[in-house]
Structure 1
Amino acid sequence: MTIRAVVQGVGHYLPDRVVPNSWFAETLDTSDEWIRSRSGIERRHFAAEGQTTSDLAARAARAALADAGMDGSEIDAIILATSTADMTFPSAATMVQAAIGNTTGFAFDVQAVCAGFVYALATANGMIMSGQARTVLVIGAETFSRIMDWTDRSTCVLFGDGAGALILRAEDGTGAATDRGILASDLNSDGRFRDLLYVDGGIATQNTGMLRMEGREVFRHAVEKLAQTADAALHKAGLTAEDVDWVVPHQANIRIIQSTARKLGVDMDRVVVTVADHGNTSAASIPLALSVGVARGQIKRGDLVVTEAIGGGLAWGAVVLRW
């Protein structure tokens, strides 16, 4: 008998403020057409003044709990993937823990930038398989609007705020690829490329800093590494791209999504795409897309799903799960 981490519920939250591409054209040398043609983004959501990452995360967590028909007290562990935590410490995850009324579990943050949710899923899976936890709430949440350089048209038009959450619970499986739950994961990083995507602030500089990116180089690494990690995860699960029902990629750029799908040999009609409406929400983008995919009726029980993401570090990875 094999223990599997099986999805029990999913949910998301987007701030009320919707920012269309035209908003940037008021202050920058850009346009709706320029942004759409290079990224596929049409609009994104920005958090309200005073609205924090943990606020967004807690709302997504409550949505996932409602979807699962569960109460916050039933959660053993909370893992929150974010690069924009409310404070240096304590973790934003502990703030979510308080918000959902959980007093008997444990909570912590994971920081792997845009790959954070994939890392968090793999961590949750390991905890469930080892018996450390039976039910884990996994969240991706970001307020990247707080770290934008509003004079840099190459970056500030790309990002948005939001949160998504998934609840995993231990269930018995057969050990076969037909089991529901997480079947395999593949995680990678290479610190030699840290200067391609980073924030120029932190403890060392005693300021928050702003996001900096070498877009062309990030694009090149993304397409190559995303396809490789998805293939590796599928291979570990004993599966191939032909078995995949849905690819749910990190929603960074429509051209990256399309190029990665071609490398994987997966048609775009099997890819969940939300980038036009959300922009790049970093660690929140995959759980947001999973929740939206379920709400649309795309992802159904028993479907084989591959998630893959790459972010600063560089850090990248993929998870294969059966819904």
Structure 2
Amino acid sequence: MKPFVAKFVWFDGKIVKDEDAKVPVMTHAIHYGTSVFEGLRGYWNSKNLYIFRLDDHIKRFRNSGKVYSISLRFTDKEITNAIMDLCKKNNVKESCYIRPFYFVGRHGINLHVTENTPTHAVVVMFPFGELFNKNGIKTGISSWRRISDMSTPPLAKMGGNYLNSILATQESKRNGYDEAILLDHLGNISEAPGENIFIIRNGKLLTPPPSSSALEGITKDSVIEIAKDLGYQTIEREIPRTEIYFADEVFLTGTAAEITPVISIDGKKIGDGKIGKITGKIRTIYSDITIGKNKKYSKWITAVY
């Protein structure tokens, strides 16, 4: 079966053809990165399409814009309905990636963005499978440091923030790695360019806190709850760079990456160089949840059809 083609997008309250969703070249976001976005996954289980943690994504979606006084001129319910309606209009019956975003429109070159500055809101979607090799990836510590609250708020999912991620990704690819790991301004582990990070030592999960410039990830939060139900403790604390080399297991989490094992860092093998036992357990449960096979976490999925 050929992947579906998303012929329609949601643009400022209406579903329109993709080619009809246009913005002028003087759009502020093109010049300054004044855009806010979210990434959601839709999972098809042969009977229905389930969107993972829809309400939580929409909440973060609005909060990110508040940091920069960029207004989302639609209610949470309107954005939720837009996503659901667009899935139906595009007749999505396979797993997909859904991206809602809003951005500053015509505002000249004025940097004084306020709640009254004109904005546009959009939802797009496209087929999406695995981002990384599920058997594990090789990573390297980037020479680029993760942005921090001292300069650009890392907890807001802003388009401009990801220039930092692009630099780290380019460097990691040049060095022969699948993905980068960034340090915070103090030299502690922060996150990957688009993913949170967990390390496992002595049966405990460790993950960097927001003070280490780690995004408050929704997949990260899901993993913490799954791990707790499995009887594993998660500790959110600063992680020195050297400590990650001592890890028994390491994995990344994110909407696109889902739960991806890390098998080496800077050429140093993690564990036995394969997906770890705890990582495997968590990933299996997570995968079952997303397609509606685990009723315990049914609160996390929203059926489209």
TM-score, with length taken from structure 1: 0.24
Instruction: Mark the structure with the bigger radius of gyration.
Output: 2
The structure with the greater share of residues assigned to helix is 1
Pick 1 or 2: higher relative contact order, CA cutoff 8 A, min separation 6.
1
TM-score, with length taken from structure 2: 0.25
